[in-house]
Amino acid sequence: MQLDDRKAQVLQAVIDDFIFTAEPVGSRTIAKKYDLGISSATIRNEMSDLEEMGYLDQLHTSSGRIPSDKAYRLYVDKLMENRTLKTHEAQDFKGVYETQLSQVGQVIYHTAKILSEITKYTSMVIAPQLNSTVIKHIQLVHVDRQLALLVISTSSGLLKDTLIAIPEGIDSDYLHRISNILNELYSGKTFDEIDVDDLKEVRSEIIRNGNIFDALIGALTENLTRSDQKKVYLEGTTKIFNFPEYQDLIRAKTFLSLLEEKDLLYAMLTSAEADGVTVSIGKENPFEELRDCSIVSATYKIGDRVLGSIGIIGPTRMEYSRTMSTMDYMAKALSQYLTSLYGK
Amino acid sequence: MQLDDRKAQVLQAVIDDFIFTAEPVGSRTIAKKYDLGISSATIRNEMSDLEEMGYLDQLHTSSGRIPSDKAYRLYVDKLMENRTLKTHEAQDFKGVYETQLSQVGQVIYHTAKILSEITKYTSMVIAPQLNSTVIKHIQLVHVDRQLALLVISTSSGLLKDTLIAIPEGIDSDYLHRISNILNELYSGKTFDEIDVDDLKEVRSEIIRNGNIFDALIGALTENLTRSDQKKVYLEGTTKIFNFPEYQDLIRAKTFLSLLEEKDLLYAMLTSAEADGVTVSIGKENPFEELRDCSIVSATYKIGDRVLGSIGIIGPTRMEYSRTMSTMDYMAKALSQYLTSLYGK
DNA sequence: TTTAGCACTCATCGGCTTAGAGTGCTAACA
DNA sequence: TGTTAGCACTCTAAGCCGATGAGTGCTAAA
């Protein structure tokens, strides 16, 4: 069977209505609300065909129909009107990054907050990933008699630092020498390329004065595998209670438990490396647990290097058009802001 | 009326049973399960008295009774057996801080996680508060041509740093001079005592080379009012679904929305400045929103200075004894660990 | 003072009925 | 041949009812 023009119109009407009402849609509703110029009986026939084609599902014989994941996919790719932000919305976004936020963490947190407020869905944001970022300079700074700060600056302008314990009696000159060794070994490489074992080869040069070596190895390893890098900033987790399809304790609980699986969310957000806005609908999702959710995500950059992702998660019955245009705008705004702060 | 020995026994039985079953407790249940040597009819009379005294509530005429907040308070203060950790539990805790965690954030996160797992309630932890900590040393470090790191080290051993933008062409000597000025002004003071305006008075000495002044003011102000300081680490938020009294969508939603009010939780955790374990039961709570929850919290220290709090939040029907002993243990373990890391 | 006995209350649960939304099919119509 | 009106049929949701049982308060006897 072919999806002719009229079928597409009916399908779009069903999807639009279902997104709006969250109730299974009947033929009479379509006939009344949408001016397609055909009777409910004809629509009934078309809907029966659409069901056969896999675009619509029926919960039970005497209920209306709801769109399948396949229908939403068609909707997102072809049917829906590609909305751009309305002027008053664009206005709202204007001031998003006007408050001074100098720490990366703050920018990320703020972004998550705003994103959730605007979209009305649960937002997820990950901080810039440094894995493929080039190390520009490494520096060991004396802070206290027994403490030094290991500072790694990167080409994207972002900085990473770790406090390390050092044996008493180490002077700045000595730290400087170690810094030079570290720079020779690692600067110009990316975080992913760092091999801690390289350090072991020059061990003798470093060990002169106690066990600073172990502290260094520790600090470096930690900077590479640091778990807070994998952190996902979530906001608006309780937004889910606003949706009728989650007015069910078990579903709500399942969803919220899902959000506690940070590894999964992280994997989800980093999987879509493509530029621009990505949509993953229901069963399209790589993870079983997310099969009745949709995820809209986008990457952000500093300069022209993709460094992280932002996204929202909600029911498959999602306002795709509005959400996607918002996501696009936010990702660009964030990129621009981060670049202005850190980009060269 | 007087709360004699037998009434207290009956009350304790009712509370113990209700904490265990979450069902209103009837006189027959008490007579059968607890060996008080009196019949259900006598218990019935005692329970009627206890209700009159405000220790028990009845949902409707023909239901059993449930303990009031007043009853829980009596229970916590007098009735319950003051449990110490059982040997196998103490064993479980032994390894809590054995994995290497060098960043404060990591320690806090890990603590929240563990606390929630052990208690089965939602845990809340706040990072060390530096407000009343004495600044030991301030240092400006060149990181890049246009970037410097402002590092503030404190007497508790904790460190705070912020990246600031500097005009090109500033040399290390100059940064060193500014560092000296900052130290003269601020070292020995607490964060709370810092007055950014002091900096303005020595403005002319600093302004030699462009606008590093503004960046400094900004960075200092931010370090003082930094919102991520006020951050509350939450773990196990979905634990609430395990309790029968929250098998109700509206209550669950209310609870979870409450957890999103970080300011409230923060205020709650910092309000109990007393040393040791604090319990706040239902309406005792300073905040209206928390009136059907109980909060068990404790402070932790570095050295002998109180720096932050840990706590859990759950239904008033809480296993007070177990939770309080766990909280006591964890607060001490955390203090000990942080002191070993940062304390002098 | 305690306790056995009993009448009374009230929430909960299963079964039953009804209303209504929606379908599929048939037959008439353009 | 495609479209539409009409109608019988299906199935859920909501409301009503009575039975059940847990629990109480009261009374009278021990």
Task: Return the HEC string of A76-118.
Answer: HHHHCCCCCCCHHHHHHHHCCCCCCCCCHHHHHHHHHHHHHHH
Question: Does B337 score more than 60 pLDDT?
Answer: yes
Average pLDDT over residues A268-292: 90
If you measure CA to CA, which chain B residue comes closest to A229? B106
Structure tokens at A160: 């990473």
Of A191-195, B246-250, B309-313, where does the model show the most confidence?
B309-313
Confidence check: pLDDT of A91 > 80: no
Q: How many CB pairs under 8 A join A and B?
A: 98
A36 secondary structure, DSSP code = -
Cβ <8 Å between A103 and B228: yes
Residue type, B72: Y
Top pLDDT among A180 and B90 is at A180
Residue appearing with tokens 């810094």:
A179
Residue–nucleotide distance: A275 CA to C11 C1' (Å) = 59
- CB distance A179 to A139 below 8 Å: yes
Dihedral Cα B280, B283, B288, B294, nearest 10 deg: 40
Which chain A residue is nearest to residue B147, measuring alpha carbons?
A157
- Per-residue pLDDT band for B293 (boundaries 50, 70, 90) equals very high
Pick left, alpha or beta for residue B54 (phi over 0 → left; psi -120 to 50 → alpha; otherwise beta).
Answer: left
Q: For the segment B160-204, what is each residue's pLDDT rounded down to a tens digit?
A: 888 887 877 788 888 888 888 889 989 999 888 888 788 777 776
Average pLDDT over residues B204-232: 69
Lowest-pLDDT range of B34-48, B51-65, B135-149: B135-149
Distance between CA A158 and CA A341 in Å, rounded? 9
pLDDT value at residue A289: 87
Closest nucleotide over all strands to B44 (CA to C1'): D24
Closest CA to B316 of B342, B340, B287, B293: B293
Of all nucleotides, the one whose C1′ comes closest to residue A39's CA is D4
pTM: 0.91
Q: Is the CB of A277 under 7 A from strand C?
A: no
Is the pLDDT reported for residue A227 higher than 60?
Answer: no
From the number of C-beta atoms within 10 Å of its C-beta (0-12, 13-18, 19+), residue A191 rates as buried
In the prediction, which pLDDT does B258 show?
Answer: 95
Average pLDDT, integer, range A269-286: 89
pLDDT at B157: 81
pLDDT of A206 over the 90 cut: no
User: Could you tell me which residues come within 8 angstroms of residue B167 by beta carbon, excluding any fewer than 6 positions away?
Assistant: B146, B209, B210, B211, B212
Question: How is residue A297 written in tokens?
Answer: 């995500």
Interface test mutation site (partner B, options A104, A150, A161, max chain B beta carbons within 10 A): A161
Percent pLDDT > 90 in chain A is 57
User: What's residue A205's pLDDT?
Assistant: 67
Q: What percent of chain B has pLDDT over 90?
A: 57
Lowest mean pLDDT among A80-89, A227-236, A286-295, B218-227: B218-227
Model confidence at B325: pLDDT above 60: yes
Q: Which of A64, A56, A125, A44 is nearest to A308 (CA)?
A: A125
pLDDT of residue B97: 85
The encoded tokens of residue A272 equal: 């879509």
Mean pLDDT, chain B, as a whole number? 88
pLDDT > 70? residue B127: yes
Question: What mean pLDDT comes out for the span B11-35?
Answer: 96
pLDDT at B98: 78
d(CA A242, CA A65): 22
Residues of A in contact with B144 (CB under 8 A): 136-137, 153
Which pLDDT band holds residue A218 (cuts at 50, 70, 90)? confident
Q: For B274-303, what is the mean pLDDT?
A: 92
Taking 80 as the threshold, does the pLDDT of residue A102 lie above it? no
Residue B281 main-chain phi, psi, to 5 deg: -110, 120
Residue B21 confidence (pLDDT):
96
Residues of A in contact with B226 (CB under 8 A): 103
In the numeric block, which tokens belong to residue A237? 């987790």
CA–CA separation, B95 vs B101, rounded Å? 13
Q: Of B342 and A270, which is predicted with more confidence?
A: A270
Most confident of A86-95, A142-151, B309-318: B309-318
pLDDT at A120 over 80: yes
For A65, the 3-state DSSP assignment is: strand
- Which pLDDT band holds residue A344 (cuts at 50, 70, 90)? low
Q: Do A218 and B100 touch (CB under 8 A)?
A: yes
Tell me the chain A residues in contact with residue B147 when contact means C-beta distances shorter than 8 Å.
153, 157, 159
- Cα separation, A4 vs A57, in Å, equals 19
C-alpha distances (whole Å) from B292 to each of B53, B75, B148, B152, B283 are 20, 17, 50, 42, 7
pLDDT of residue B225: 65
Distance from CA of A56 to the nearest CA of B (A): 30
Residue B10 CB lies within 7 Å of the nucleic strand D: no
Determine, for residues A102 and B253 on separate chains, whether the beta-carbon distance falls below 8 Å: no
Q: Is residue A68 over pLDDT 90?
A: yes
More confident residue, A195 or A239: A239
CA of B75 to C1' of C14 (A): 41
Look over chain A and give the mean of its residue pLDDT values, rounded to a whole number. Answer: 89
Task: Give the CB-side neighbour count of residue B30, counting CA atoms within 13 A.
Answer: 30
Q: What is the pLDDT of residue B88?
A: 73
Residue A102: which of B137, B222, B238 has the nearest Cβ?
B222
